[in-house]
Amino acid sequence: MIVVMKEGALPEQLDQVVRLLQGKGLRVHISEGVEKTIVGVIGPKERVLELPLESLPGVEKVMKVSNPFKLASRAFHPLDTVVQVGNHVIGSGEPVIIAGPCSVESREQILEVAHFVKRVGGHMLRGGAFKPRSSPYSFQGLGETGLKYLAEAREQTGLPVVSEVMETEALPMMLEYVDVLQIGARNMQNYPLLKAVGRTNKPVLLKRGLSATMEEWLMSAEYILDAGNPNVILCERGIRTFETYTRNTLDLNAVPVIQHLSHLPIIVDPSHGVGNARYVTPMARAAIAAGAHGLIVEIHPNPAEALSDGQQSLRLEEFEQMVHEVRRVSGALGAVESSVYAGQPS
Ligand code: PEP
Ligand code: MN
C-alpha cells in the first residue's frame, strides 16, 4: 500500500501518518517527490486499511500496490534513482559505458584494455576475476590476483572497476578491490548472496537471470533494497529463447518496461545478449535508442586468444567505433527523460 500526501503537506502531518503506521507494526518507506511525498507501507494490507488514514490532514489518498516488489517499484519511489560510482552517475544524463574483457587474464592485458577504454572515453572498466563457467574444465579466473590487477588498472587510469562476486564468502575480499559488485545471471536468485550485498553500501550491478521474468528480476532487486542497499543497477543481458543463431535473445523490451515499473537505473549488456561480436554494436545502438542508462561491453586486444567469451568480444578498434556510434545515437536523442513515468503507479 502507499499513502500519497497532499502537495504542501506539513512535516507534522507526515509524522502523524508514519507514527500511526509504525504503531501498527508496519514498515514505512518515505519518498520525497518533486511535488508530493509518498509513504510506502510494507506489511499486511488489512492492517493498513483498518487505519483512518484518508481522514487525516495532509493525506490525499491511500492506494494499493499490486506488484509484489515494493521498494523497487515506481509507486513507492516515483523519481528515478541515480547511482553514483566515483565521478560518474548511472541513471541520468549521458549513458555510461563500461567495457573490458570477460576475464582478467594478465596484468598486461587488463592494463592495455584499461588505458584504451579511458582514451576513447569509456567510463568504467569491467573484468571477471572469478568466472561462472559452464564447464568446470574451462578457465575459472585469476581470483584475487585478478582483483589486484584491476585495482592497479584503476589506479593508473582513474576508471572505477566492476567485477563479479560469485559467492558470499568472497564478498569481504571483493569489497577491498572493486567499485561495483556484479551479480551474474546465474546468481540472480542466490538469495543469501543478494542479502549479503544488500548489507553493504557498494553499488550492485544485478544481471537478469538466464530465464528470469522481469518480475522475478525485480524481486531479486527487492532483496538487495530490503537489506538496506539502495544502490542497485539492473542489467539486461539477454534471455534464453528457442533462437539458436544468437547465444541469447537480448530483450530490449526490458528497458521501457523496467523504467515504467521501477525507479532503478537499467543498463544493457549486448555482448552476452547476442554472443557474437558481429551483432554487438547494432544492439548497443539499439539499447541506447531504447533509453538504457548505459552499456557493459566485452572487449579484448586479441579476441581469438581470449580465455573466455572471445567470440563475443569486440577488438579494441571496433569498440572505439562503437563508442562513436553510440554517442551519435544518444546525441540525437538528447537526454531521454525516463522520469516521464514518475507519478504513474502501476
Ligand atoms: C560476464 O559478465 O562475463 C558474465 C558471466 O555475465 P552473465 O552473468 O550475464 O552471463
Ligand atoms: Mn563473459
Range of the domain at 19: 2-63
14 and 161 share one domain:
no
pLDDT one-digit tens code per residue, 264-279: 999 999 999 999 999 9
pLDDT one-digit tens code per residue, 281-297: 999 999 999 999 999 99
The Cα–Cα gap between 204 and 232 comes to 5
49 and 99 share one domain:
no
304 and 246 share one domain:
yes
pLDDT one-digit tens code per residue, 171-183: 999 999 999 999 9
225 and 259 share one domain:
yes
Q: 184 CA to middle of ligand 1, Å?
A: 5
Is the residue at 71 inside a domain?
no
From residue 208, give the alpha-carbon distance in Å to each of 16, 27, 39, 259. 39, 28, 28, 15
Give the per-residue pLDDT at 104: 98
112 and 170 share one domain:
yes
52 and 124 share one domain:
no
* Cβ atoms 40, 64 nearer than 8 A: no
Domain boundary among 32, 63, 94: 63
Does residue 53 have a pLDDT over 90?
A: yes
CATH of the domain at 56: 3.30.70.1140
167 and 242 share one domain:
yes
Number of domains in the chain: 2
54 and 102 share one domain:
no
Q: 128 CA to middle of ligand 2, Å?
A: 8
pLDDT band at 185 (very low <50, low <70, confident <90, very high): very high
Domain boundary among 11, 29, 63: 63
Give the residue whose CA is nearest to atom 10 of ligand 1.
185
pLDDT band at 340 (very low <50, low <70, confident <90, very high): very low
What is the model's pTM?
A: 0.94
pLDDT one-digit tens code per residue, 191-245: 999 999 999 999 999 999 999 999 999 999 999 999 999 999 999 999 999 999 9
Is the residue at 78 inside a domain?
no
State the CB neighbour count (10 A cutoff) for residue 9.
Answer: 18
36 and 90 share one domain:
no
Give the per-residue pLDDT at 339: 41
53 and 149 share one domain:
no
The Cα–Cα gap between 286 and 305 comes to 28
**Residue in 190, 208, 269 to alter for ligand 1 test, most ligand atoms within 8 A of Cβ:** 269
**Ligand 1, CB within 6 Å, residue ranges:** 102, 128, 132, 184-186, 207, 237, 272
Domain boundary among 10, 28, 63: 63
167 and 108 share one domain:
yes
Indicate which ligand has the atom closest to the C-alpha of 184.
1
State the CB neighbour count (10 A cutoff) for residue 194.
Answer: 26
What percentage of the chain exceeds 90 in pLDDT? 94
Q: How many residues does the chain have?
A: 346
* Cβ atoms 180, 207 nearer than 8 A: no
Is the residue at 31 inside a domain?
yes
CATH of the domain at 192: 3.20.20.70
Give the per-residue pLDDT at 66: 85
* Cβ atoms 91, 83 nearer than 8 A: yes
Give the residue whose CA is nearest to atom 3 of ligand 1.
102
